[in-house]
A and B are shown apart, each in its own frame.
Chain A
């Protein structure tokens, strides 16, 4: 019951997808589109709150056990509750101007600002940690330098050859390496899917073990 039923469920869903893709059997094709795919869309949507609820559970625990910096958990829960209440109960939900005000001015700006920190940390790490210690790392550095210079107008202004070399590096060397990885990854993914389908790989069924 705890293990066999999920395995049967998993196998049935997978095999239906395969049959739908490779065979023209109207009853299976219609079932796959009308019920299987629809049920996936619906069930995933209803499960979307798990992460959010776990986050809130974690922060309630922080507050109740008065962990270090627990005061900030009040901010998180407060903002979460406010946005959730506005988004669910206001007319038009996300389209409501009141919700849009907080979304576009706080959420969007916070998001962009947090990620912009990466540019500063990148600069610092380039200065302190990126060392040409071997032939390979020197090659990496030179390649990166050419791509960086070649992709901006100032690079072309310095020497018109930079964009051409950059283009060659990207189109011939980079694309071929990515192609190699892509083929390997796809083959690996296929074998992993077979293992999942026939129940050899059961990592996702470990919950509550």
Chain B
């Protein structure tokens, strides 16, 4: 059997070469973006229109269910939404049940709020992390301030903040924008607040990986908005006129996908070529 054909050599290629090739294919368009036009999905357009339909001063719960592990997708997403919510002059309550969620929201969003002139305690507040999402959200149905022990992420009194004026329970929240990389995530809020009739409008912002399951709730009308993954973040950035990390990353995302496709195709062709050669060699030996 001839083990020195190109297919055998390709099959035995060092994994590090594959890693390097992927790295280069993703890095180059990140440094030199081609700037291909984005396809804006109707669901993204509808989601932004839905937010805009709420009057000024509406109360939005921005669920910062993010972690450093999904920051690449959800940081541009939450950043773009935070900008848009400030532009709409809505009152933003940031909450989260991922250990990193509210802390990362503070690091990422505070500079943006400052840049846009939003004032902490007046236009937005960060409630901080709580374990046990289901029971805390259930408590919020009766009394948000008590559920959070009247303290925000930095230990300041919630009851004295103008942003919380008139917001005593979950039903005082007009709509919810939820970053959702898994559980706790949109499904948690659906069970706690949507199913119990507290909040009717939930906007789901899953990672690409969760996008396939998020579509189910969107189709059923349980969630009213859907913006998914880096692609969705890029569309929001473009629609609100603040191009950022997501738009820049979309070309790299494209070449990354093509690199994976290329690996799949070459790997499969090689597999069938080698199998064919093995079969032929066996027939020769047998015949």
**A and B in direct contact, judged by CB atoms within 8 A:** yes
Question: Which residues on A are within 8 Å of B, measured CB to CB?
Answer: 33-34, 37-38, 40-41, 44-45, 48, 92-95, 100, 103-104, 107-109, 111-112, 114-115, 119-120, 122-124, 126-128, 130-132, 141, 144-145, 148-149, 151-157, 163, 167, 170-171, 174-175, 178-179, 182
As a 0/1 sequence over residues 249 to 268 of chain B, the CB contacts with chain A under 8 angstroms (1 = contact) are 01101111111110110111
A45 to chain B, nearest CB (A): 5
B208 within 8 Å of A (CB atoms):
yes
B3 within 8 Å of A (CB atoms):
no
Cβ of A37 and Cβ of B215 under 8 Å apart?
A: no
Please name all residues of chain B whose beta carbon is closer than 8 Å to the beta carbon of A37 when the two chains form the complex.
135, 138-139
- 5 additional contacts (CB under 8 A) given A33-B141, A41-B147, A123-B260: A104-B107, A109-B68, A130-B267, A153-B39, A153-B254
Of the residues B131, B219, B229, contact of A44 by C-beta under 8 Å: B131
Of the residues A40, A120, A132, contact of B132 by C-beta under 8 Å: A40
B37 to chain A, nearest CB (A): 6
Please name all residues of chain A whose beta carbon is closer than 8 Å to the beta carbon of B106 when the two chains form the complex.
95
B153 within 8 Å of A (CB atoms):
yes
B1 within 8 Å of A (CB atoms):
no
Of the residues A33, A95, A149, A163, contact of B138 by C-beta under 8 Å: A33
As a 0/1 sequence over residues 6 to 50 of chain B, the CB contacts with chain A under 8 angstroms (1 = contact) are 000001010100110011000000000010111101000000000
Please name all residues of chain B whose beta carbon is closer than 8 Å to the beta carbon of A111 when the two chains form the complex.
67-69, 100
* Closest partner residue, chain A, to B38 (CB atom): A153
Please name all residues of chain B whose beta carbon is closer than 8 Å to the beta carbon of A93 when the two chains form the complex.
155
The tally of CB-CB contacts under 8 A between chains A and B is: 153
A131 with B267, Cβ < 8 A, contacts A112-B68, A123-B259 known: yes
A116 to chain B, nearest CB (A): 8
B282 within 8 Å of A (CB atoms):
no
B129 to chain A, nearest CB (A): 9
Please name all residues of chain B whose beta carbon is closer than 8 Å to the beta carbon of A151 when the two chains form the complex.
208, 229, 231, 257
* Closest partner residue, chain B, to A174 (CB atom): B212
In angstroms, Cα B219 to Cα A175, docked, is 8
21 contacting pairs across A/B (C-beta < 8 A): A45-B130, A92-B155, A114-B69, A120-B22, A123-B260, A128-B11, A128-B267, A130-B264, A141-B268, A145-B261, A148-B260, A149-B257, A149-B258, A152-B231, A155-B257, A157-B37, A171-B215, A171-B219, A174-B212, A174-B215, A178-B212
